[in-house]
Amino acid sequence: MMHIDPREQARRAGEQLHHFHGGLRLRHNKKISCEIPVEKVPLATRYYVPLLQQAGQEAEPTVIEGQKVLKGDLLGYCRQTGGDSVHAPTSGTVTAISNHPNSHPSGRDGRCIVIRPDGLDQWMTLDPIENWERADAILLRQKIRSSGIVGLGGAVFPTAVKVDEASSKEIHTLILNGSECEPYISCDEMLMREQPDSIILGARILQRAVGATRTVIAIEDQMGAVNTALTGAVKRSGTHDIDVVKVTTIYPEGGEKQLVKVLTGLEVPSGCRPTDLGLLCQNVATATAVARAVTEGKPLIERIVTVTGSGVRKPRNLLAQIGTPVSNLVDQCGGFSPDAARLILGGPMMGYALASDANPVIKAANCILALTAEDVRPEQPEMPCIRCGECSRVCPSMLMPQELNWSIRNGLWDETSDLGLSDCIECGCCDFVCPSHIPLTEWFRFGKSETRLRDNEKRQAEAARQRFEAREARLAVLKQERKRRISEKKRAMTGKDDKQKEIADAIERVRSRQDGDS
């Protein structure tokens, strides 16, 4: 059989569809939130903008209490992860920089910039790139970096970091992920229906920024209206290097590695990224944010959020500014139904519960899901694993969840690494099918956090060891230098005594000679 170079095979992405391992066919529950056009959320009375809204470190504030800001002004900047930033969602006054519920998966409060709007919603001076088609690719990447854009599909990995890495790896194909496979979430579908031209524009800009020659936009095969909208936008753009490809609706096909497998038939090896195959994956909403940043000079300060579930009176999609309290979005959807029992940020598979609707909308907030008690599966007592293998059958990362679970519970951290814990995408498929009701995903999240903690402790211990050895080496050098100086001083003193003795002997000889003459 003739061997085909993986990068060459990746160039044919979308020409033939493949299947990834495992996955689930789930009820969509999307139609109810797609019946009304997207509407913008009115100005809130207060905005709470978290300083941690991306994968990595928390941003440092660049404003102080009492400072007046304009819409789009920089509020925080993180140097450690390459300049991820947060910006003012409207014009007003910074009233506090304090801890507040920040919609983080940990459930802990975090530092937020609190803004009291002035009602003017006045933009800062915008600085778009006038002719992006002729602009240097470096300039485009710098604009993406300064605009605080992150992956809006849920991972919130800094787009600038991803694009910078891609630009050095000879990317040939850009993949825009419109495969919104998790139930209830429809924000990307509504974006693709209503703003297809901005998505195509963002695709073309990203192509130029990383040097790609082709774009594949992957959508679900059930999105007929989306297919029509995007195909029309491609024709209007006059470009011939963008293809819209319909993929089978199966969860979690929207996962980056799973989508690459479907489009190319290639597995992204553990520890590697699609960029190693010449592919760059971005969410369709991220592409729109890039288009606005480059052509309008606007940073990422708003996003479309699906507000849905049987616990909301009128499910729909809303354009919300970052920092808006969730309660404002729910109110615009008619409020909670009387039997609302649980509030989730994200979808039913990968989302996490919010303690209150006072939490703010963040860049990762693709969905606000309100469920009733009837929707929530009654909590079942955890039972011992029966080794049925169902979790392995549905795992899209081809892991052995039952083995991982056993290793984590027993603290066998080297084994968890060998079993591929880092490759778990926390999709929840294993939880869904486990007959013993074992919270596998929770254990995997714990395992990852414990592994990161241990790795950090190892790095700190290694750094301490290196500092100690460097100190010991410096002290040894100083000791040798001290010995050398003392030795030289002794030799100098010995030489001086010998000289004085020679002089004394000479004087004595002269005196003896004088005494003999007399």
156 burial via Cβ count (<10 Å: 0-12, 13-18, 19+): buried
Q: What is the pLDDT of residues 42-86, one digit of tens each?
A: 999 999 999 988 877 888 999 999 999 999 999 999 876 555 799
pLDDT of residue 497: 65
List the one residue out of 138, 137, 174 whose CA is nearest residue 287: 174
**Looking at the domain assignment, is residue 67 inside a domain?**
yes
Pairing of strands 173-178, 279-283: parallel
**pLDDT tier for residue 400 given thresholds of 50, 70 and 90:** very high
**pLDDT tier for residue 1 given thresholds of 50, 70 and 90:** very low
**Same domain? 303 vs 436:** no
List the one residue out of 481, 503, 483 whose CA is nearest residue 491: 483
Question: Which of residues 293, 308, 323 is at a domain's end?
Answer: 308
pLDDT of residue 361: 96
**Looking at the domain assignment, is residue 469 inside a domain?**
no
CA dihedral 416, 422, 428, 432 (to 10 degrees): -30
**Looking at the domain assignment, is residue 274 inside a domain?**
yes
Q: What is the pLDDT of residues 363-391, one digit of tens each?
A: 999 999 999 988 887 778 999 999 999 99
Contact 78, 68 (CB under 8 A): no
**Same domain? 246 vs 394:** no
Beta strands in 284-377 (DSSP E): 302-308, 316-321, 340-345, 352-353, 367-372
Identity (one letter) of the amino acid at 486?
Answer: I
Query: Looking at the predicted structure, is the pLDDT value of residue 176 above 60?
Result: yes
Beta strands in 45-133 (DSSP E): 47-50, 60-61, 68-69, 74-78, 84-87, 92-101, 109-117
375 burial via Cβ count (<10 Å: 0-12, 13-18, 19+): middle
Q: What is the pLDDT of residues 119-137, one digit of tens each?
A: 999 999 999 999 999 999 9
Q: What is the pLDDT of residues 341-370, one digit of tens each?
A: 999 999 999 999 998 999 999 999 999 999
Gap between the Cα atoms of 402 and 404, Å rounded = 5
Supply the pTM of this predicted model: 0.87
Mean pLDDT across 388-404? 95
Q: Which helix (H) or strand (E) holds 461?
A: helix 440-517
Gap between the Cα atoms of 279 and 11, Å rounded = 8
**Same domain? 297 vs 413:** no
Gap between the Cα atoms of 253 and 54, Å rounded = 23
**Looking at the domain assignment, is residue 109 inside a domain?**
yes
**Same domain? 287 vs 434:** no
Contact 329, 307 (CB under 8 A): yes
pLDDT of residue 6: 85
Mean pLDDT across 8-15? 89
Gap between the Cα atoms of 499 and 455, Å rounded = 65
Question: Which of residues 308, 328, 345 is at a domain's end?
Answer: 308
Range of the domain at 181: 6-308
Helix, strand or coil, per DSSP, at residue 112: strand
**pLDDT tier for residue 504 given thresholds of 50, 70 and 90:** confident
CB neighbourhood size of 437 (10 A): 13
**Same domain? 394 vs 288:** no
**Same domain? 180 vs 293:** yes
Gap between the Cα atoms of 158 and 171, Å rounded = 18
**Looking at the domain assignment, is residue 355 inside a domain?**
no
**Looking at the domain assignment, is residue 375 inside a domain?**
no
Q: What is the pLDDT of residues 204-228, one digit of tens each?
A: 999 999 999 999 999 999 999 999 9
**Rounded to 5°, angle at Cα 215 from 265 and 270:** 40
- Which string of b and e fits 388-417 if b means at least 16 CB within 10 Å? eebbbebbbbebebbbbbbbbeeeebeebe
**pLDDT tier for residue 271 given thresholds of 50, 70 and 90:** confident
**Same domain? 219 vs 83:** yes
| Helix pair 440-517, 401-409: axis angle to 10 deg | 50
Query: Looking at the predicted structure, is the pLDDT value of residue 167 above 60?
Result: yes
**pLDDT tier for residue 517 given thresholds of 50, 70 and 90:** low
**Same domain? 152 vs 276:** yes
Gap between the Cα atoms of 193 and 197, Å rounded = 10
Question: Which of residues 407, 437, 452 is at a domain's end?
Answer: 452
Q: What is the pLDDT of residues 471-489, one digit of tens each?
A: 999 999 999 988 888 888 7
**Same domain? 252 vs 122:** yes
pLDDT of residue 518: 58
Q: What is the pLDDT of residues 75-107, one digit of tens each?
A: 999 876 555 799 999 999 999 999 998 888 877
Q: What is the CATH number of the domain that holds 273?
A: 3.40.50.11540
**Same domain? 274 vs 412:** no
pLDDT of residue 359: 94
In the chain, what percentage of residues exceed pLDDT 90? 75
Structure tokens given for 486? 């003392």
Gap between the Cα atoms of 175 and 264, Å rounded = 11
Number of domains into which the chain is organized: 2
Query: Looking at the predicted structure, is the pLDDT value of residue 4 above 60?
Result: yes
Q: What is the pLDDT of residues 421-443, one digit of tens each?
A: 999 999 999 999 999 999 999 99
Q: Which helix (H) or strand (E) holds 280?
A: strand 279-283
Contact 347, 365 (CB under 8 A): no
**pLDDT tier for residue 516 given thresholds of 50, 70 and 90:** low
What are the backbone dihedrals phi and psi of residue 284, each rounded to the nearest 5 degrees, phi first? -65, -35
Gap between the Cα atoms of 98 and 124, Å rounded = 24
**Same domain? 396 vs 255:** no
Contact 53, 103 (CB under 8 A): no
Query: Looking at the predicted structure, is the pLDDT value of residue 296 above 80?
Result: yes
**Looking at the domain assignment, is residue 180 inside a domain?**
yes
**Same domain? 285 vs 400:** no
**Looking at the domain assignment, is residue 407 inside a domain?**
yes
- Specify the long-range contacts of residues 417-420, CB closer than 8 Å, at least 24 apart: 417/451, 420/270
Gap between the Cα atoms of 58 and 56, Å rounded = 7
- Which string of b and e fits 26-58 if b means at least 16 CB within 10 Å? bebbbebbbeeebeebebbebbbbbbbbbebeb
